[in-house]
Amino acid sequence: MDENAMRQWFIDCFGPVQGEMAWNQLSQLPDEIREQLMSQDIGKLPKPEEVQSLMQAFTAGGLNTFGDMKQTVESGPINVKLAKSIALQKANADGSQGTVSAQSADIARRALSEANLWLDTACTFDPTSGETQMLTRAGWVEDTLESWAKFAGPVAQSMNDALASVISERLGNSFNGEIAGMFAGPVPIPVPDGMKDPGQLIKLLGNTSFAMQLGHAAGDLSHEVNGSFDQGIALLKNPAGGLIMQNIEEYATSLDIPVAEVTAFLALREVAHARLFAGVPWLMPRFEALIGKYARGITIDLDAMEEQLRDAGAMDPESISGAVNLTKVGIPDTPEQREALVSLETLMALVEGWVDCVTWRAGMAHIPHIEQLREMMRRKRAVGGPAERTFESLLGMQLRPKRMREAAALWEQITAERGVEGRDGAWSHPDLLPALPEEAKTVDAGAAGDTASGVTRAGTDDGASVAGDAKDGTKDAANGAEAQNDGGAIDWDAELSKLLGEDGGENDENDSAK
């Protein structure tokens, strides 16, 4: 390689001052790296804009020195600081409000106060401690991103290991040489011994790439969620939850329904979720355990990852983040994943069904458009909103409570037969939860005595559901039992999802993880 061309490459990558420093340090590099750099065609080195993109990403994530980089690799599979920086940039874009206006806060406080009053007669769970937060989009990112990172941690670790394996061992010296030269040569600081290992450097690249993917996903999500429980799980440290009023106001405008009414409905849902999760101490740990079980069962298709990396066309974090998308390189449907996914979808459907049931009972006399709002929420959950898309891209799971209608009808049935106390008492232990109809299991003779009103008790391996009567579980449910076909419930949400998938070009027929 011509020395002048190499010198110019340094300057193009790092500017006149640092480029000259890098060029001067070339003589201090190990012989094998210096010879490798000088023997390559200049066209095979990373493009200057790729190097700049990589270094900008590292700087945004607090990686100003290789010491910072080494510490980041050792601290975990995701650079949370970088992910949060990217998410906040997206959250604050497009005219996002930095604060909640006084008028919006008044509307929200009034809605939350009324919601708690209405719920006192509709459920037995006590109000949560503390106050529901008034969140901006940026505030939602600040308070929830670490929870997302915790859920995605096992997946990120598997992806980083696979990325290191593919680049180091399967793509040969062309990639190894570029990355080694890119990190070890063109930076105007000495390389610590611990970071001369290409595997460590590649893990850093994976760490950064996954952080970018998480940051983009969380930033996009911040523009669409209305409350802290929109994902069906508790993400805030505040047990009382939070509302994002800017998003609620935009949602109300899109529906052409008064903001105060939409806020009242969404506040009811937020408070109902908060009461349930606060009153059922085993619920969130169960979700965390099942999500962790699913994430740990993920296997990466190294051939698919290698193909994605070759198609990426650039070895920078922005390009790599596309290659670490689990929808492209994850091997779906391992037995462990199938088991965890079924349990997750069942538990989420029961939670969402209970909230739907309680919200309707609490708000039917106060919210004129509650039926329209209820139906919009059901359809949004069924066909997959931003929360479901985030679970799919980050964790590889297509998690949608498509049986929420059946679950809501079942909770209505139990309310009619046992009353509010009997319904909410089912949450006292996971083995007491009702099962959705076809999930009912045969009850042995010892448990037969517990059968009552078509709902039975029976433990399950995952603890997320119990047996119920397969034919009668929702047939006579009060206020909204769905149509039956030869004794089996039609999964209306699944049918809606398939219909929209066919019309909109999105195939959503497979409920398994992809």
Q: Give the number of other Cβ atoms within 10 Å of residue 349's Cβ.
A: 25
The band of 437, judged by pLDDT with boundaries at 50, 70 and 90, is confident
- Closest by CA position to 59, among listed 72, 76, 77: 72
Per-residue pLDDT of 115-125, as tens digits, reads: 999 999 999 99
* Nearest CA among 59, 395, 386, 88 for reference residue 208: 59
d(CA 441, CA 437) in angstroms, rounded, equals 9
Residue 70 has pLDDT above 50, yes or no: yes
Query: What is 270-320 written as a DSSP string?
Result: HHHHHHHHHH-TTHHHHHHHHHHHHHHT-EE-HHHHHHHHHHH-S-SHHHH
Across 201-230, average pLDDT: 83
* pLDDT, the chain, mean: 74
Q: pLDDT band for position 178 (50/70/90)?
A: very low
| Highest-confidence segment of 18-22, 195-199, 265-269, 372-376 | 265-269
pLDDT at 123 (0 to 100): 97
Q: Which of 332, 333, 279, 328 is nearest to 308 (CA)?
A: 328
How sure is the predictor about 166, in pLDDT bands with cuts at 50, 70 and 90? confident
Amino acid at 172: G
Q: Write the DSSP assignment of 132-189 as a string of letters.
A: -EEE-HHHHHHHHHHHHHHHHHHHHHHHHHHHHHIIIIISHHHHHHHHHHHHHSSSSS
Q: Domain extents for the chain?
A: 3-88+140-216
Closest of 137, 407, 372, 160 to residue 245, by C-alpha: 137
Please state the rounded mean pLDDT for residues 24-31.
66
pLDDT band of residue 167 (cuts 50, 70, 90) is low
Residue 107 vs residues 100, 441, 507: alpha-carbon distances, Å: 11, 47, 39
Percent of the chain at pLDDT > 70 equals 61
pLDDT in tens, 129-159: 889 999 999 999 999 999 988 888 888 887 7
Residue among 329, 91, 86 at smallest CA distance from 208: 86
